[in-house]
């Protein structure tokens, strides 16, 4: 589970704030939930049968993002209701729904949310099939946190190519330059990269490209939660699985793997579930000294962070003086969240909490009266570094499957979500907010910005200036709106009072020449209160179109070449407005060839060159108006003349499985000094290496021509770009 200790306070502010949970000397959170909007409905899902509407809560600035299986947002019984599938945004200060956030989540639910460190992206994971129908966005995607639009520069879709069921992203977490993801999937696709990763992977935070060096193999069930250790050397994994890297002793429903390579951490205590038959684990969180693991049969285990030795357990259930069966009335722990010096836990428990006096003893050895029983209603708090239960924290909640998501807000409020219906007799729409008793909420609007006017922009832009607003606390920024129909249009951008201009200037660089626009501005404060709009000002984009070509790139040359890559470099071009990029052309006949690719810098790597082929390259510069320069000089060269005669390594671990009437083959990837380009699959009926059956670009193949009752023997060879083939793999027999 993600920690709530760090968050981006506002999108345009560079300061990162720390969320502090109340200490014993501070006021505790109120037990009664605040009146806020909620969500309702539960969409059909093939990934689980839990009817919770809310599964994830995240925050960027003053916006709370809620993900789950819901189908609409609502202000309460008899109030306003609007359709909204799986993902919605709410004002963190007043709990109001933000209707301008319009994500297009298709085909499923959202189970996890995570903000990028700079607040410019909102990552989401779930069992959805796409975002806005875009390719490579199943199960994992990045969107714009202001609009909900898909981020087109980031791709890391999850896939299960051998299954008809959806790939599932169940948990995501960020550590350093990596985004970790856990769930039920077998492959990650990012652009041209299609890599096999079994239920856990990490991808580049900036691009989505999967990391091949980190590849733990999780088998036997799905991953439900992940959390990196604070020092970044371990990734803790919890779920329904039974082995990690083939190890059942150290990979059964909980495991610690090394972030350097995905290997299991050596020398730690194997995990013991509460009851061996049903001990699935739903959540994990790591602090500096402890690791909390939460799951079935009503238990949290607190482990020593170094050795993973169990030092404490927590149960929910009923004391023996009420019911002789201790687990009666309790419920599984389902989510964990670090907030300052606390770890909050959510469960579907509505009876009592037990902190045993016998420390790390497990049920059923533990006797019901042993320890301290205290009432509980779905959310509990523990000291992060000791694991002790904080009895002063208690909330009033009721529902069915209870709490599945928790988030700590910067104003010391706690947001929870799941399948929740009431707090102290008042309506709760599956999500609730608990703040400190008597906490004052700022609901006052800033004053209206004045004097919005044209500030003499250039030919391809419109510049605006206005008079600043005031506020009872402080104005933190301004939102600019644009339309083409003379009314208040959608939000275009925001500025910050920390900008050099004080936030009262803005340049629109995206207007279309000759189009009339109407602009307006609103001020907003840290509590998310917005002023009334400013005056509308109508302006027309400059009529002087930019038709001037950039200068031609000079000095194009091959800076290096090897067996697989030709690297080009050239001098920067200039333009009257600005160069935005370069087009690279390639031919094999010494002339200007077709477009090969583009670059935003004065360099390019051609990774598609064929060994021994002579190519001719040229470059053109581009500007924002789409003007292209004359071509550069022609530069000729080829990949290294050295001949690749080295075989790829032999494919290992060939396995065959029956899928209805077909035979599905799977094997381990081969390696090569240059690169494996594919595999040849052979089949015989006499137990030897048979004739070529087909080819595959990945380490799997499906034989759809097998005849029932016939015994076949399969083998695989790897092939590289130079045509070298490996020795054959092991022969694997199977009878359809």
Residue 239: left (phi > 0), alpha (psi -120 to 50), or beta?
A: left
Q: Two tokens at 355?
A: 């902190």
Q: Two tokens at 123?
A: 């990552």
Residues 165 and 239: their CA atoms lie apart, in Å, by 19
Look at residue 584 in the predicted model and tell me its pLDDT.
Answer: 92
User: What average pLDDT score do residues 273-292 get?
Assistant: 84
Q: At 582, is the secondary structure helix, strand, or coil?
A: strand
pLDDT band at 659 (very low <50, low <70, confident <90, very high): confident
User: What average pLDDT score do residues 469-489 get?
Assistant: 89
Highest mean pLDDT pick, 1-10, 518-527, 632-641: 518-527
Q: Two tokens at 453?
A: 């006017």
Q: What DSSP designation does 100 have?
A: T
User: What average pLDDT score do residues 707-736 get?
Assistant: 90
Handedness of CA 504, 507, 512, 514 (dihedral sign): positive
Q: Determine which of 121-125, 315-319, 720-724 has the lowest per-residue pLDDT on average.
A: 315-319
Contact assessment for residue 683 and residue 691, using Cβ atoms and an 8 Å cutoff: yes
Kindly report the number of other CB atoms within 10 A of residue 295's CB atom: 27
User: What average pLDDT score do residues 530-553 get?
Assistant: 79
Peptide bond into 364 cis (omega under 30): yes
- Each residue of 159-206: pLDDT tens digit? 999 888 899 999 999 999 999 999 999 999 998 889 999 999 999 999
Look at residue 474 in the predicted model and tell me its pLDDT.
Answer: 87
Residues 621 and 628: their CA atoms lie apart, in Å, by 6
Partners of 239 in the beta sheet? 223
Q: Look at residue 670 and tell me whether its pLDDT is greater than 70.
A: yes
User: Structural domain boundaries of the chain?
Assistant: 450-540, 554-638, 655-734
Which one is predicted more confidently, 514 or 236?
236
Residues contacting 44, CB < 8 A, separation 6+: none
Q: Two tokens at 501?
A: 């201009």
pLDDT band at 112 (very low <50, low <70, confident <90, very high): very high
User: What average pLDDT score do residues 215-219 get?
Assistant: 95
Residues 452 and 504: their CA atoms lie apart, in Å, by 9
Residues 728 and 717: their CA atoms lie apart, in Å, by 5
Residues contacting 321, CB < 8 A, separation 6+: 369
Q: Two tokens at 450?
A: 């004045």
Q: Look at residue 440 and tell me whether its pLDDT is greater than 70.
A: no
Kindly report the number of other CB atoms within 10 A of residue 672's CB atom: 19
Q: Look at residue 546 and tell me whether its pLDDT is greater than 70.
A: no
Look at residue 18 in the predicted model and tell me its pLDDT.
Answer: 34
Q: At 287, is the secondary structure helix, strand, or coil?
A: coil
Look at residue 313 in the predicted model and tell me its pLDDT.
Answer: 87
CATH of 655-734 given 2.40.50.140, 2.60.40.10, 3.40.50.300, 2.40.128.20: 2.60.40.10
Main-chain dihedrals φ then ψ at residue 211, nearest 5 degrees = -95, 115
Fold matches, 450-540 and 655-734: yes
Look at residue 5 in the predicted model and tell me its pLDDT.
Answer: 37
pLDDT band at 685 (very low <50, low <70, confident <90, very high): very high
Residues 238 and 289: their CA atoms lie apart, in Å, by 18
pLDDT band at 130 (very low <50, low <70, confident <90, very high): very high
- Each residue of 224-238: pLDDT tens digit? 999 999 999 999 999
DSSP letter string, 451-493: EEEE----TT-EEEEEEPP--SS-EEEEEEEEESSSS---EEE
Task: Identify the helix (H) or strand (E) that includes residue 64.
Answer: strand 63-68
Look at residue 368 in the predicted model and tell me its pLDDT.
Answer: 46
- Cα angle, residue 529 at apex, residues 525 and 533 outer, rounded to 5°: 95
Give which of 156, 105, 110, 167 is closest to 132, Cα–Cα. 105
Per cent of the chain over pLDDT 90 is 53
User: What average pLDDT score do residues 306-320 get?
Assistant: 85
Look at residue 134 in the predicted model and tell me its pLDDT.
Answer: 95
Question: Mean pLDDT, the chain, as a whole number?
Answer: 86
Look at residue 438 in the predicted model and tell me its pLDDT.
Answer: 62
3 state SS for 148-190 = CCECCCCCCEEECCCCCCCCEEEEEEEECCEEEEEEECCEEEE
Contact assessment for residue 250 and residue 269, using Cβ atoms and an 8 Å cutoff: no
User: What average pLDDT score do residues 395-415 get?
Assistant: 91
Q: Look at residue 299 and tell me whether its pLDDT is greater than 90.
A: no
Q: Determine which of 128-132, 297-301, 601-605 has the lowest per-residue pLDDT on average.
A: 297-301
pLDDT band at 622 (very low <50, low <70, confident <90, very high): confident
Look at residue 462 in the predicted model and tell me its pLDDT.
Answer: 86
- What is the CATH architecture of 450-540? Sandwich (2.60)
How would you label 432-469 residue by residue, b for 16+ Cβ within 10 Å and e otherwise?
A: bbbbbeeeeebeebbbebeebeeeebeebebbbbbebb
Residues 652 and 655: their CA atoms lie apart, in Å, by 9
Q: Whose structure tokens read 């029983």?
A: 373
CATH code assigned to 554-638: 2.60.40.10
**Entry pTM:** 0.64
Q: Look at residue 10 and tell me whether its pLDDT is greater than 50.
A: no
Per cent of the chain over pLDDT 70 is 88
User: What average pLDDT score do residues 574-599 get?
Assistant: 88
Look at residue 696 in the predicted model and tell me its pLDDT.
Answer: 93
Handedness of CA 128, 131, 137, 142 (dihedral sign): negative
Look at residue 628 in the predicted model and tell me its pLDDT.
Answer: 85
Look at residue 17 in the predicted model and tell me its pLDDT.
Answer: 31
Q: Look at residue 717 and tell me whether its pLDDT is greater than 80.
A: yes
Partners of 189 in the beta sheet? 157, 194
pLDDT band at 459 (very low <50, low <70, confident <90, very high): low
Q: Determine which of 13-22, 298-307, 507-516 has the lowest per-residue pLDDT on average.
A: 13-22
Handedness of CA 123, 126, 128, 130 (dihedral sign): positive
């Amino acid at each position: 589970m993600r920690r709530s200790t760090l968050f981006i306070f506002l999108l345009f502010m560079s300061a990162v704030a720390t969320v502090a949970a109340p200490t014993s000397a501070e006021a505790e959170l109120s037990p009664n939930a605040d009146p806020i909007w909620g969500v309702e409905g539960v969409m059909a899902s093939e990934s689980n049968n839990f009817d919770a509407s809310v599964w994830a809560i995240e925050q960027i600035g003053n916006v709370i993002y809620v993900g789950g299986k819901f189908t609409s947002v609502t202000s309460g019984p008899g109030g306003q209701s609007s359709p909204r599938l799986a993902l919605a945004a709410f004002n963190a200060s007043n709990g109001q729904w933000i209707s301008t956030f319009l994500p297009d989540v298709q085909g499923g639910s959202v189970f996890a949310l995570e903000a990028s460190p700079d607040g410019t992206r909102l990552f989401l994971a779930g069992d959805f099939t796409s975002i806005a129908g875009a390719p490579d966005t199943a199960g994992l995607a990045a969107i714009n946190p202001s609009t909900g639009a898909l981020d087109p520069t980031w791709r890391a879709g999850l896939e299960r190519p051998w299954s008809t069921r959806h790939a599932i992203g169940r948990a995501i977490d960020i550590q350093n330059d990596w985004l970790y993801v856990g769930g039920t999937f077998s492959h990650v696709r990012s652009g041209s990269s299609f890599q096999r990763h079994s239920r856990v992977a990490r991808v580049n935070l900036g691009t989505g490209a999967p990391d091949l060096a980190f590849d733990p193999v999780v088998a036997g069930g799905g991953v439900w939660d992940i959390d990196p250790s604070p020092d970044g050397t371990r990734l803790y994994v919890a779920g329904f699985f039974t082995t990690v890297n083939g190890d059942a002793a150290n990979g059964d429903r909980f495991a610690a793997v090394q972030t350097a390579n995905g290997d299991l951490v050596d020398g730690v205590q194997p995990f013991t579930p509460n009851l061996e038959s049903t001990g699935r684990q739903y959540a994990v969180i790591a602090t500096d000294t402890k690791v909390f693991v939460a799951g079935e049969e009503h238990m949290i285990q607190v482990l020593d962070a170094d050795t993973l030795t169990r030092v404490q357990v927590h149960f929910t259930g009923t004391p023996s003086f009420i019911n002789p069966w201790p687990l009666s009335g309790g419920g599984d722990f389902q989510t964990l969240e670090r907030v300052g010096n606390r770890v909050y836990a959510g469960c579907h428990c509505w009876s009592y909490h037990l902190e045993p006096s016998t420390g790390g003893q497990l049920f059923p050895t533990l006797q019901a009266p042993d320890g301290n029983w205290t009432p509980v209603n779905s959310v509990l708090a523990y000291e992060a570094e000791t694991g002790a239960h904080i009895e002063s924290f208690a909330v009033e909640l009721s529902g069915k499957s209870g709490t599945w998501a928790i988030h700590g807000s910067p104003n010391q409020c706690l947001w929870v979500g799941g399948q929740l219906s009431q707090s102290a007799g008042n309506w709760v729409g599956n999500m609730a907010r608990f703040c400190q008793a008597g906490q004052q909420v700022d609901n006052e609007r800033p004053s209206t910005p004045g004097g919005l006017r044209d500030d003499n922009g250039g030919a391809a832009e419109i510049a605006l200036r206005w008079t600043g607003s005031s506020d009872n606390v402080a104005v933190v920024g301004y939102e600019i709106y644009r339309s083409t129909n003379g009314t208040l249009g959608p939000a275009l951008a925001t500025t910050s009072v920390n900008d050099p201009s004080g936030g009262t200037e803005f340049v629109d660089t995206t207007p279309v020449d000759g189009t009339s626009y109407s602009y307006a501005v609103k001020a907003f404060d840290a509590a998310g209160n917005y002023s009334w709009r400013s005056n509308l000002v109508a302006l027309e984009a400059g009529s002087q179109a930019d038709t001037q070509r950039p200068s031609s790139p000079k000095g194009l040359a091959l800076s290096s070449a090897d067996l697989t890559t030709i690297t080009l470099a050239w001098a920067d071009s200039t333009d009257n407005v600005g160069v935005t990029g370069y087009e690279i052309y390639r031919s094999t006949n010494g002339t200007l060839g077709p477009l090969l690719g583009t670059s935003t810098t004065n360099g390019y790597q051609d990774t598609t060159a064929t060994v021994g082929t002579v190519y001719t390259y040229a470059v053109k510069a581009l500007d924002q108006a789409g003007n292209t320069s004359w071509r550069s000089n022609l530069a000729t060269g080829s990949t290294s003349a050295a001949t690749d005669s080295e075989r790829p390594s032999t494919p290992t671990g060939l396995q065959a499985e029956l899928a209805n009437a077909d035979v599905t083959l799977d094997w381990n990837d081969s390696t090569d000094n240059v690169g494996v380009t594919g595999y040849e699959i052979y089949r015989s009926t006499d137990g030897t290496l048979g004739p070529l059956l087909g080819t595959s670009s990945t380490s799997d193949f499906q034989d759809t021509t097998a005849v029932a009752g016939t015994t076949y023997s399969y083998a695989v060879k790897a092939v590289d770009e130079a045509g070298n083939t490996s020795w054959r793999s092991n022969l694997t027999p199977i009878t359809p």
